[in-house]
Structure 1
């Protein structure tokens, strides 16, 4: 029986793009099916980038020796990771404890709110809060909440396990790089790609952290002035959700006023919180962030929205949290290859996928590899 010739891949542009599209769909399906495995790994890589950034910050800004900077960065990030989980858990428990103490007046307050809103829309007979709550399956919602809480604890353990193995494998990264790119020119270009990806993610983290801290400081002062209960808990929630585009701003600007409606007998506190938080978020999103971002987050707003929807569907809340950093990484990697640079241009906000450290937009580099590999 004669041997069949090997299958040849199409060389035309249309055929190559079709193969790329099929590969993207296959990779997306695999990420969705393997979400339980890949989600903690992605968070561990995210924490690893944070540890590396904190390490270099300590080396540049403090007298801590270089060989101790890595340990100090690891301790800072791990303590921050556990502190975030502890603050959320403790704040949630305090919230439910205080809510259970005012249960007797929540029902009448909700009835009053429903009545007042019904009067605005001309509805004469409004349902009571107990009637509306009776239509909800509270037990199923509590079961979902319990599963989510269990998933957070389990995911945190896996994140730390992945992080430990990633830290252990860092020592062999240099040798792996030499083995993958024996030629010095190709190796230096690969390091440039890595540094550009790392710089984009670190720039995004820096901007979101600083602006989130500004938003939280103003929001905390506003909530304390109004007298909202658990102001510290809501402040930390606002800081966390600020890392989620679009949805984070909605949660930060609407949830505290909604709880103010239930806590207070009058409406002016909720109105002040709503107007104040919306003003804070508007100034931060339209004045402060654009000035700080510069070229660090040169992503088209439509791409940010699509990335949020895609990664939220694939990896849930963790995907929403990582959607923008993943988009930044994808754009930086795609911009380095001639065949995929057009995709990076589409992802970028101004048609220039990346910038040099001085802010100048470089032209695409033509890669020329010498005929013989030169190993170190």
Structure 2
């Protein structure tokens, strides 16, 4: 009979403290979500501004200062344009839906009858029978509150963004004070660069592939004559940043509304087949080639991160779930005690965004420029 090995008390205490710390951190993230979600979006926008600024510097004769101003204007205008498109598009959509509401009931009854006959059911239920006991009032109230919260949250996002941009001036001085040693400071800068590289790579891939999907989707919706094609195109682009759920919404929402709008099933079938084809091609052939090492996250981790952050922060958490997972992997990989967690989060067991041995990794680790305000060691 084998003798059970005793677990050291220090290991048990350490694991218990880690578990309690994780639970406490999760509770704090949930309770402070109204404060932290605008801050997280502001940090997300700041990373976008930094990436756009460097792109402008590389492709235009503008210096760093004016490139930063141009990047700030571009991102802020894009932010406000997104809000305007969502608000105006949603208003137009609900107005059109109200105008054709008299024809929705008979069309739904026809769809239910056809589906029932397809499965051999002689007496088909009506739309009135299905929604008779369904109280839609609380859902509309919740939707209105979410829209109101999004409008107020956008204001706080801009406030946080302004303070974050103002605090950038003293970042290098703080970095030197926190890490007096040159080697430690270089490692800290390397972590930041890996986090930035992962988030920017994710944004770039999702934006380019989203534009591809939206171009085909808009063309298909225009061909079949679906109402509010531009609104649905923008919705498809936005939900593309939500892993897993975004593809399902993009591929199913327009065909479902086409079922109600048109008297035949052909427009909905064309949209369903066309959208599923472009989503399959982009998701399985184009996107993996573009991602490379920028999104070296295990698919199970992506799904769990989506569920976790969606539960903690709602829709905002769903949008930020993958970038937050990339950030967590990059930070955890820097500490010996937490590196095993970064390995589990990674897709191939190598948690670094830039793999060791590559030219980019060597430049990140060895040739990191010293901050100009650094004092001699």
TM-score between the two structures when normalised by the length of structure 2: 0.91
Are residues 1:22 and 2:20 paired? yes
**What is the CA–CA distance in structure 1 between the aligned matches of 2:199 and 2:210, rounded to whole Å?**
16
Pick one of 209, 221, 229 that aligns with 1:231.
229
Contact 2:342–2:351 (CA<8 Å) still a contact in 1? yes
The two structures, once aligned, show a CA RMSD in angstroms of 2.0
**Pairwise CA distance, 1:14:** 4.9
**Pairwise CA distance, 1:374:** 7.1
**Pairwise CA distance, 1:359:** 7.2
Contact 2:56–2:71 (CA<8 Å) still a contact in 1? yes
Secondary structure at 2:176 match in 1: helix
Please name the residue that 2:156 is paired with. Answer: 158
Secondary structure at 1:81 match in 2: helix
**What is the CA–CA distance in structure 1 between the aligned matches of 2:88 and 2:169, rounded to whole Å?**
38
Q: Render the CA deviation track for 1:241-268: whole Å, top value 9, x for unaligned.
A: 0000000000000000000000110001
Unaligned 5+ runs, structure 2: 1-7, 366-373
Please name the residue that 1:369 is paired with. Answer: none
Matches within 5 A, 1:1-376: 12-356=10-354, 360=358, 375=376
Please name the residue that 2:371 is paired with. Answer: none
* Higher deviation after alignment, 231-240 or 136-145: 136-145
TM-score between the two structures when normalised by the length of structure 1: 0.91
- How many pairs align? 359
Contact 2:197–2:353 (CA<8 Å) still a contact in 1? no
Residues 61 and 239 of structure 1: CA distance in aligned 2, closer, same or farther (over 3 Å): same
**What is the CA–CA distance in structure 2 between the aligned matches of 1:346 and 1:126, rounded to whole Å?**
51
**What is the CA–CA distance in structure 2 between the aligned matches of 1:328 and 1:284, rounded to whole Å?**
22
Secondary structure at 2:39 match in 1: helix
**Pairwise CA distance, 1:282:** 0.6
Secondary structure at 1:54 match in 2: helix
